[in-house]
Amino acid sequence: MFGDLERTPRTLLVCDRSSFLDEKNRLSSQVEQLHFNYKVSMLLPECSSAPSHLEAVLNSFNSFYLIRKLPIHELLDKHFLETSIHQGLVSGLSYRTRIDEDNCVALMPNGHLSLSLDKDSFELLGVEGKLSKFNQRTNSRYVVSVDLTDSSLAPGGRGYQRLVTGLRSRLQLKTDFLLSHHPGGGASLQALLSRCDWSEHRPEVRSHTLTDLFCPLLTSDLQSCDPHLLLEWLGAVDADVSCENSSSSFLSSLVCPEPKTTMSRALSVSVCGLLSPQDVHRLIQQIRCYLDQPRLESWASLTVHGFVDSPVSWGGDEHGVLRGGENFYSLLMFHDHTYHLHLGTGAHDTCPP
């Protein structure tokens, strides 16, 4: 046990500095590549309540569905394929399944279906797959990834029948499933939902005002602030953990990075649910508008967390869990349109884009 505690698990943090005004900035594509977001946290310095335009965006995040014990072969229904998946209108993720122990499923907006399966389930399914990158020593987990928009998976074809038969007759995979649709795509889900036990949910928005908050002295060059310490501080603020401790404290060693200042107030807002990259992008645009207004502080932060147990993280890359399952990015925006982007993963992930 002590040996495990002494070995710090590998983590990866990629830092990017650019400007929204630079036509070559890659922020939009990087936001779009984290498909499955469960939480967005926003911090606005010297602010006690969200401006109306920001609050409107927060309350307009798309709703999503929880389907209980969805037979995964239902995602291959011909009508659902034609009206939803082939149109790029839906995405979904198995719910309350653990990527290191259970069978997990992800349906990406581009029509790719990813199954992370234990060895017995993979052999029962009987379709082509590959050994997980993160369980090669034990050969205990396999990944099946299929493009449901490919002609080889057209209904009636051999590849389609093999996959449907494996999911319906041999493996009979069922799981609680979160499903979201793009604007205008809700009607295409009705036939599928009519055959299932489902409920519709709105993302949950929470906010609270912080007072007399120690804060790093943040400028657009960020020469004096270590990115790991900055992210640690942002996480502590979001979790409402005090950073007013001395380094010898037995309760917490978290401290605010130096140099620091004190904010008289700050607004911390979080949104939780199955959150689409498109909604996150709209929120980023409204924060930019907020920063255009004259105010005491010239920055704002946004942190987006991917689902810990999603089979995929960035793009279609395989995701795994060792201890934390981190896959997130944090965006620090300034009034001069520059930004700093930090993309973080844990030990069982490939490099972010």
Q: Is the peptide bond preceding residue 45 cis, with omega within 30 degrees of 0?
A: no
Query: H or E stretch including 281?
Result: helix 277-292
Q: Look at residue 9 in the predicted model and tell me its pLDDT.
A: 58
Q: Which residues make Cβ contacts (< 8 Å) with residue 17, sequence separation at least 6?
A: 222, 338, 339, 340, 341
CA-nearest of 239, 334, 281, 340 to 34 is 281
Phi-psi region of 124 (alpha: psi -120 to 50; beta: other; left: phi over 0): alpha
**Dihedral over Cα of 281, 283, 287, 290: its sign:** positive
Q: Look at residue 140 in the predicted model and tell me its pLDDT.
A: 85
DSSP state of 125: H
- For tokens 């967005």, the residue is 40
CA-nearest of 347, 349, 351, 338 to 27 is 338
Q: Look at residue 222 in the predicted model and tell me its pLDDT.
A: 65
Q: Look at residue 317 in the predicted model and tell me its pLDDT.
A: 87
For 344, the token pair is 């973080």
For residues 158 and 46, the answer to whether their CB atoms sit within 8 Å is: no
Q: Look at residue 277 in the predicted model and tell me its pLDDT.
A: 94
CA-nearest of 11, 41, 14 to 30 is 14
Q: Look at residue 150 in the predicted model and tell me its pLDDT.
A: 93
Q: Look at residue 156 in the predicted model and tell me its pLDDT.
A: 87
Round to whole Å and give the CA distance between 239 and 257: 17
Beta strands in the chain (DSSP E): 12-19, 37-45, 64-71, 90-94, 104-107, 112-118, 130-131, 141-147, 174-181, 197-201, 204-216, 260-275, 299-306, 327-334, 338-345
Beta strands in 223-288 (DSSP E): 260-275
* Sequential pLDDT tens for the chain (353 residues): 444 444 555 678 889 999 999 999 999 999 999 999 999 999 999 898 888 999 999 999 999 999 999 999 999 999 999 999 998 889 999 999 998 889 999 999 999 999 999 999 999 999 999 998 877 567 789 999 999 999 989 998 999 999 999 999 999 999 999 999 887 667 789 999 999 999 999 999 999 999 988 888 887 776 667 888 899 999 989 988 877 766 565 566 677 888 888 889 999 999 999 999 999 999 999 999 999 887 656 899 999 999 999 999 888 888 877 666 788 999 999 999 999 999 988 777 777 87
**Dihedral over Cα of 239, 245, 251, 254: its sign:** positive
For 191, the token pair is 């036939």
Q: Position 227: which residue type?
A: P
For residues 298 and 327, the answer to whether their CB atoms sit within 8 Å is: no
**Dihedral over Cα of 54, 60, 62, 63: its sign:** positive
CA-nearest of 215, 91, 230, 103 to 166 is 103
Q: What is the CA radius of gyration of the chain?
A: 22
